[in-house]
Structures are given as structure tokens and as C-alpha cells.
Chains A and B, each alone.
Chain A
Amino acid sequence: MTNDLLIARVAGERFALAAIEVQSVIALGEIVPVPLAPSPVVGLATQRSRTLTVIDVALALELPPAGPTARFAVVVELDGVGYALAVEAVENVIPALGELRAPKVKLSPGRARSAMGMVDTSVGTVLQVDLTRLVGGAEQKAA
């Protein structure tokens, strides 16, 4: 089984997502804000006739919010709901060179909550994040 990873840049840092979970990558257009929605939900965007809930990945990882610098989004689907994960850039889809392993350093709480582990790739060792935990970030915090 090829273990392809999508490498995205968030707040200047590389993160990996399992490519198999990614439906598409879109350029973010207008984001319609959702008043009083919990972080990291920043609004709604559309992909043709589909409405996507926009998650600011930087916020989800408790990094400085990307705001308007997030021009791209990784489209994923969880429990039938489409999400657009806003990131600074999407770099590539590359195979993982090896297994996931526990991080050697202590991660910041925001990263630790979503992290699956470190993985080696041709662009270096990156942190692979879990989609469900990334998207449900604020909910877990509240619970």
C-alpha cells in the first residue's frame, strides 16, 4: 500500500495529511463568516454547489491564525460534512518514507492534540495530523 501524504504549509511549517482522505485542493475564494462559531471554524466557502465549512488549520494547531494569507484549502469530508482546511500553501503529494513514529520532542499542546506522529519524507521529517482531531479541535477543548 502506498502511503501518500499531502504536504501543506501552515504558519511557515510543514504538515502532512493522509492523501487518501483529501478530495481536492481549491483556491479559497470568498469566505462567508459564521457569527459566533467556535474556533477553528472561520466561515463557509463554496466549491461549486457544495458548501464547505472553513477550518483555519493554524488556529486548530494553536498557531498564529493564518487569516487572509491562507489562500488555499484542502477539501475533506467527515461524517458527510465537507470541510475546507485553509492553509498557507499546498506543496506536494509525496510518498511517506517509513512508518509513523512518536515525536522525539515535546509538542506544543495545539500540535499534540492533532498529531498522529512524525513521518519521514523526501522533504524531511514532518508532523502528520489526524483529520478528525484537527477539525474537531475546539469541540474537544470545550468538552
Chain B
Amino acid sequence: MDDLITEFIAETREMLQALERGLVAWEREPGDRERLSEIFRFVHTVKGNCGFFDLPRLEALAHAAEDALGEVRAGKRVIGRGLVDAVLAVLDRIGEMVEGIAAREDISGGDDSDLIARLAERDSEPVAVQPVQAPVKAATAREPFRSVRLPTSLVDRVMSGVSDMILVRNELERQLRHSDGDPALLANFGRLSSLLSEMQAAMARVRMQPIGTLLDSYQRMVRDLAAELGKDILVEIESGQVELDREMIELLRDPLLHVIRNAIDHGFETPAERQATGKRPQGRLMLSARQTGNEIRIAILDDGRGIDAAQVVAQAIERGVVTAEQAARMEPGQQLMLICEPGLSTAREVTAISGRGVGMDVVRASIERIGGKLRIASTPGEGTRFLLDVPLTLSIVPAITVEVGGQVFALPRSYVREIVRNGHDVEVEPIGGVRHVRVRSELYPCLGLGAIFGLACQSESDRQVLVMVKMIDGSVFALCVDDIADHCDLVIRPVAPQVINTGLYVGVAQLNDGRPALMLDLVGVSQLGGIASDKQARLVSEPAAQADARELVMMIVFAGLDGIRRAVPLDSVERLIEVPVSEIGQGNPAHIVFEGAIVPLHGLAVQPTGESIDVVVLAHQGRRLAFATAGAVDTAGIDLATVTVETGRRLALLDGQSIELLELDRLHAVQPTCRLPGDDAWTNAFLRPLVESAGYRVVDQSNFADLEIRLDADRTDSLVIGNDGLAVAKDDTVALRAALRLASQRRAS
């Protein structure tokens, strides 16, 4: 009997948990027959079981609910707010009673007549008219979901046992492959092997739980709390396929609950307040979970009133948590984090829900205890974001394994944008001492993993593979490795602190052959390689300051022939070339020949002294242009916030000195020149205005010109426009205009 009761409790719990997710949706849309049937089946099952176990109180309650819902299903009754609330209350009461039974309490004493009466009440104002359909058969009840509770230590033991078996299997497989095995033996081994693989896959899931289950479980709480406080809040959940260790989920449950309660209680305004400030009356609470490489980021976003950092600071000073000077030196993000100091609460009044200042410090402590980080960003009037970064320990990470110098490393797949084989499509060029690669005309810094790690590369350089790594800030670099080994899901386990402290690894995984492979911390690796922008560095070392991280853009920095330091964004640089002075075509602007095309050359205000000059070839909006440099080309991150145009030039600050940013648009806009066929009245009065209105500057015969118009050698009443011999009748204005336009287009392309 005891076993049966235990099973009944477990089953009822499972069903209640499954219903929980549907309830809020059902409330919004009471006409949803599917959900209605689900709830109906639940109370029906409970009723049936209660009769069996002699639990009259539970049975009566379930019976009343079944009756009321049965009428709705049969179309005899419409659903109203009152009924929805009553049904939800019944489900809660059933849950309480089941927990009571589980704790071996006597539950027969209570009284449920209040609920039964509420169920019987007819709603005066129905919210939705139930379309009458053929009643769905209750007999379609699903197979009850059964579960057992196990100590996690036992699960761990089974898991490592399975892993050990897999390793032995792999070893055995190698041995069998080298022997001329008996086919029957091989067949049996094959079966054993696939069974083991299945078992391994099942075991891997045992400890994991989709984080969506956790986030979904808050729906009901949000609804109840919002209703209690007279607020209207829509919950949006976005959890993707992120899975977390069960234990980790349990550890996150309370901290998340508290943050959400806080948001509902303090963050959201009432519908009236929201409307007064021009917001939608319904607030939005967004719960999301995302895996970003080596951590899971859980975000709780509300579009409520936000947190006033000044108020938090004032309170913190008043309570003696910080001094005024300390507070003044803090970044906005750090100031907001003060709400996590013990005894500080931002609520204007203490409410029954929260606001006694005993929450956020506990929240932060529990997150830090599991190796996570909490960050807060808020814009007063617009909302607040709580970001929880939870480490990937024990989570399964989709990964790519690479080989370098005979050793295998793993990279989180979420960082990998694409994989390119080093070959004829890829060009390598050094800029500012850092090797760069050009992939499909985009230039990226390139790190050789072997070189960084002091491992000898085994492949020829043109056989190497480039893994294009996309960092969180959007910048991309190429990681050069010998080869790609595999795509696989890896269980990342913690590794010794001495190894983690190098900042280059996040953990270790075991490959199918039993060898360990370190998973790289790509931020650390890129920093070691000297290409991480300051922004990334800050992301790692000072998360609190991220809120107002400066916007740094990687640029090529060089000195012009005139000695002025200039910078141009790295992504517009196509090539660095050396050009003999003798090959510079004169004119304004001058030009060079690059890859079989004429490219205008700027920055020649001062004549070059040597025999050749270094030139950066830039591509901008599909057009190329070149700029002369005095050598010494380097890369640097330029803070766009320091840019000023006050002096007529675009200047930025770099290392405390001004640097000119090339204005590619303006360089492009240098007027193209045109040479006219003569100096006669017709040319000056008629042709010249046409040419000028087409955007050309007319130059005399001695000068180089972008476009040359000459008289047709065969017919004096025709003009040839451009070198490609487009002949147009002199008096055909429309054709002349069209030909000029065509010439400009050709030049542009």
C-alpha cells in the first residue's frame, strides 16, 4: 500500500508540474480545449485514485472540479474569470494536500467547502464563449509519467562507470581491428558497441535538464504576484536548447525567484503609472538563457521603472556602506551593484513581498558560490537587466576539436564562425608586426596556435586550417591550426586551478579515444596573441565596467608623408604595398596601378624623398583608393567617443595624442576631372556646363583627366566620350547626358 501511495504522490506531482506551464496560457485563453482537457484529465485521475486510497476530502474536491469542467467541455457552461481562479485554487489545494500526504500529515481535518462553492458559482460576465464541439474523450489520458529519485552521487558513479566501459570498448575495438577476428565475434562486438553508445547518450542526459523547465516554473508565480499587486505583466521565455546540470538548476531556483519577485514588486509600475509615462499598460518580463562559450547567461529583463543609481548611492552613503568619495569613483554598474550590499533596499516602502533588504545580498552570494557572476544594468524609466553568468562546469558544450603539433584542443563551437583552409583563397600579410589574413577580401588578424603554445606545426603552412573565431564583441580573428579533428559534444570538467589560472583554458574534456583535450579560453588565447581589443580585456577583468565600455574600433595607424598621424578602420584596408616613386602617375590626385587597375593615390601633399613609398590600399564602398605613408604602420584600438570634427578634420585621441581619421567618403568625393576637345564657343557654352553638371571638374589639355572627351576623328559632328570610344552626336543633348552618366558609372565600378 505504501508503495502505491508513493507512486500516487509522485504521479500527482509530475502531473501538477506539467500542468503548471499550461495554466497561465489557459487563463489568457480559456477557450483552449487542449489545455482544458489536460486539466480535466488531471482532476479526473486524481478523483479516481482518491477513491482507491480512501481520501474523501481530496476526492470531493476533485469531483467538484471535474463536474464544473465537464460542464464547460460539454458546452453547457462558459468559462469566466471566477471559474479560472477557482480551478487554479483547487489545483493549488490538491498540491498542498498531496505534499501533506507525502509528509504523513493527517489531511482529513480541513474544509474545502469554500472552494467547492466557488466552483459552483456561475460567472456573471463570461470572458470567452466556448465553441460547442464534440466532447473530447477523456479516455485519451497519456501514459502516466513515472519517476524515481536518486542520490546524485549514485548517478555520478553510474556515469563514470559507463564512461569507463566506453574506453575499454574503444581499446578492444582497436585490438580487434588489428586481428583477423572471427566474423561472429565481430558482429557481437558491434552490437555491444552500439548498445554502449546508446547507453552513454542516455546517461549524458540523466544529469541534464533543460533550463526552460526552470524558467517556465516562474510563470505562475509571476501571474499570482502581479495580480496581487494590481499589475499586468506578460512573461516571455526564451531558453533555446540550453541544458544545465540538475544540481545547478536547483541552486539557481531561489536566486532567480528572488530577482523576479523584486522586478515585479519594485521594477514594474501599475498599468495606470505606465500609461502616464507613455508606456504600454502591460509590462514585459523577459527571461532568457543563452550559452555563450564557456558560460550560460541567464538574463532577467523588465521594462519597468529602472533603478536610480543616484538613489542607491545616496542610501549606501547614508547607511555607511560606502563613503561619498568611494561612490564618486565607481562606475555606474558598480553603483547599481550596491543594492547587493547587506541591508540596502531600493524599495520606497517595505512591502510584504520584498523590500526588507534581505534579498539581493543573498542572491549575489548564492550565485557567486556556484562560481557565477551577477551584473545589473538599468536605465531609469526604461527598465532593468539582471545578468547571471553561470559557469559551464558539467554542462555539455558543442565543440570543435583541432590538432596542433600532434596535440588536440577543443574550442566552443559557438565562437566559431567558419573554417577556412589556408590556400589560394587566403592571402597572408603582416601588418604592424601581427600576421593578418585576407579571406574573401576581408582582413583579419591571425594567430598561430602552435606558435603561441610553442608547439611545432606539423602541416605545411598552405595545408593549415584557419578557424575564424568570432568574439563576444563581434570582432573576428583567425586561429591557425594544423587540422580540424572533429565536431562533437563534449562534457567539460573542471581542471586544476594552476591550469585555469593560465587564463587559456576553461576545462578539460575526454575524447572518444580516452585522451584528454583542453578546451581553450579564446579570450585568453587572443589576449596572449596580442590581438584582443581593450574591450574584450575589460569584459574579462572588469565586468562591472562593461555598462559604459568605450566603443573601440581596430584601426591601422600610420604617419603620412607630411608627418601627420592618421588612422583608418582595419576592415577597409585591402593591402599594404610598396610603390616605386617612378611608378606614381602624376595628377590631382595622383594614381598608381594596382592589380591591373588605376587607383587614385592620396596623401602626396609632400613629395616623397626615397625611391619608393609604402602605400595602404583601401577599399570603400566598392571603390579602391590608396594613401601614401611614411612607413611605420601599426594597429590600434581607437575610441570613437573621442572623435571630434571641431577643427574641420576628424580627429580622435590615441595614447593622449591626436590622430586624424581618414575620411574615405571625402577622399572619394574628390572631383573627377575631364578634358574637353577644344576651347571654342560651343564647347564652353554648351558642353562645359553639361560636363560640370555631371560632376566633373574641367581641366586644360596639359593635365591628366579622369575622362577625356574628344572629337570623333571620322565625323566632326560627333564626340567620343571616354577611352572606350563612345561616340555621340554633338547636338543630341539627351545622348550626351546619358553617355556622361555611363562614363561616371564605369569609373565608379
Instruction: Tell me which residues across on chain A come within 8 A of B407, comparing CB atoms.
Output: 32-33, 35
Q: Does B163 contact A (CB under 8 A)?
A: yes
Q: Does B453 contact A (CB under 8 A)?
A: yes
Is the pair B510, A80 in contact by a Cβ cutoff of 8 Å? no
Choose among A34, A136, A139 the residue that contacts B505 (Cβ–Cβ < 8 A). A34
Interface string of A28-49 (1 = CB under 8 A from B): 0010111111100100111011
Instruction: Tell me which residues across on chain B come within 8 A of A136, comparing CB atoms.
Output: 498
Instruction: Tell me which residues across on chain A come within 8 A of B167, comparing CB atoms.
Output: 48-49
Instruction: Tell me which residues across on chain B come within 8 A of A37, comparing CB atoms.
Output: 498-499, 502
Is the pair B508, A51 in contact by a Cβ cutoff of 8 Å? yes
Q: Does B530 contact A (CB under 8 A)?
A: no
Q: Does A53 contact B (CB under 8 A)?
A: yes
Q: Does A138 contact B (CB under 8 A)?
A: yes
What is the bound-complex CA distance between A135 and B496, given in angstroms?
10
Given that A48-B160, A51-B516 are known contacts, is A81 also in contact with B504, CB under 8 Å in the complex?
no
Q: Which of B158-201 contact A (CB under 8 A)?
A: 160, 163-164, 166-167
Choose among A33, A46, A53 the residue that contacts B496 (Cβ–Cβ < 8 A). A53
Is the pair B504, A35 in contact by a Cβ cutoff of 8 Å? yes
Instruction: Tell me which residues across on chain A come within 8 A of B166, comparing CB atoms.
Output: 49
Is the pair A81, B515 in contact by a Cβ cutoff of 8 Å? no
What is the bound-complex CA distance between A50 and B514, given in angstroms?
9
Instruction: Tell me which residues across on chain B come within 8 A of A34, comparing CB atoms.
Output: 499, 502, 505, 518
Q: Does B648 contact A (CB under 8 A)?
A: no
Interface string of A98-141 (1 = CB under 8 A from B): 00000000000000000000000000000000000001101100
Q: Does B495 contact A (CB under 8 A)?
A: yes
How far is the CB of B516 from the nearest CB of chain A, in Å? 4
How far is the CB of B502 from the nearest CB of chain A, in Å? 5
Is the pair A46, B498 in contact by a Cβ cutoff of 8 Å? no
Q: Does A15 contact B (CB under 8 A)?
A: no
CB closest chain-B residue, reference A33: B407
Is the pair A32, B515 in contact by a Cβ cutoff of 8 Å? yes
Choose among B164, B454, B501, B508 the residue that contacts A139 (Cβ–Cβ < 8 A). B501
Is the pair A139, B516 in contact by a Cβ cutoff of 8 Å? no
Q: Show 16 A/B contacts (Cβ-Cβ < 8 Å), sorted by A.
A: A32-B407, A32-B518, A35-B407, A35-B453, A36-B453, A36-B454, A45-B516, A46-B510, A46-B514, A49-B510, A50-B160, A53-B499, A80-B494, A81-B495, A136-B498, A139-B498
Is the pair B164, A48 in contact by a Cβ cutoff of 8 Å? yes
Interface contacts beyond A35-B454, A81-B496: sample of 4 additional A-B pairs, CB < 8 Å, sorted by A: A41-B498, A51-B516, A81-B494, A136-B498
Which residue, of A34, A41, A44, has the highest number of chain B Cβ atoms within 10 A?
A: A34
Choose among A30, A50, A81 the residue that contacts B497 (Cβ–Cβ < 8 A). A81
Instruction: Tell me which residues across on chain B come within 8 A of A81, comparing CB atoms.
Output: 494-497
The 10 closest A-B pairs by CB, nearest first: A49-B163, A35-B453, A53-B496, A44-B516, A48-B164, A51-B516, A81-B496, A51-B508, A41-B498, A49-B164
Given that A49-B167, A81-B495, A139-B497 are known contacts, is A36 also in contact with B502, CB under 8 Å in the complex?
yes
What is the bound-complex CA distance between A81 and B497, given in angstroms?
9
Is the pair A44, B518 in contact by a Cβ cutoff of 8 Å? yes
How far is the CB of B174 from the nearest CB of chain A, in Å? 14
Instruction: Tell me which residues across on chain B come within 8 A of A45, comparing CB atoms.
Output: 516
What is the bound-complex CA distance between A33 and B505, given in angstroms?
13
What is the bound-complex CA distance between A51 and B510, given in angstroms?
8
Choose among B160, B453, B515 the residue that contacts A30 (Cβ–Cβ < 8 A). B515
What is the bound-complex CA distance between A81 and B514, given in angstroms?
18
How far is the CB of B687 from the nearest CB of chain A, in Å? 71
How far is the CB of B472 from the nearest CB of chain A, in Å? 23
Q: Does B129 contact A (CB under 8 A)?
A: no
Q: Does B455 contact A (CB under 8 A)?
A: yes
What is the bound-complex CA distance between A48 and B495, given in angstroms?
16
Is the pair A38, B493 in contact by a Cβ cutoff of 8 Å? no
Instruction: Tell me which residues across on chain B come within 8 A of A41, comparing CB atoms.
Output: 496, 498-499
Instruction: Tell me which residues across on chain A come within 8 A of B508, comparing CB atoms.
Output: 44, 51
Which residue, of A48, A79, A136, has the highest number of chain B Cβ atoms within 10 A?
A: A48
Instruction: Tell me which residues across on chain A come within 8 A of B514, comparing CB atoms.
Output: 46, 49
Interface string of A74-106 (1 = CB under 8 A from B): 000001110100000000000000000000000
Which residue, of A35, A38, A48, A83, has the highest number of chain B Cβ atoms within 10 A?
A: A35
CB closest chain-A residue, reference B517: A32
Given that A32-B515, A33-B407, A44-B518 are known contacts, is A49 also in contact with B498, CB under 8 Å in the complex?
no
Instruction: Tell me which residues across on chain A come within 8 A of B528, comparing CB atoms.
Output: 36
Is the pair B502, A48 in contact by a Cβ cutoff of 8 Å? no
What is the bound-complex CA distance between A38 and B453, given in angstroms?
13
Is the pair B495, A53 in contact by a Cβ cutoff of 8 Å? yes
Interface string of B514-531 (1 = CB under 8 A from A): 111110000000001000
Q: Which of B527-576 contact A (CB under 8 A)?
A: 528
Choose among B504, B505, B516 the residue that contacts A46 (Cβ–Cβ < 8 A). B516
What is the bound-complex CA distance between A72 and B374, given in angstroms?
44
Is the pair A36, B504 in contact by a Cβ cutoff of 8 Å? yes
Is the pair A32, B499 in contact by a Cβ cutoff of 8 Å? no
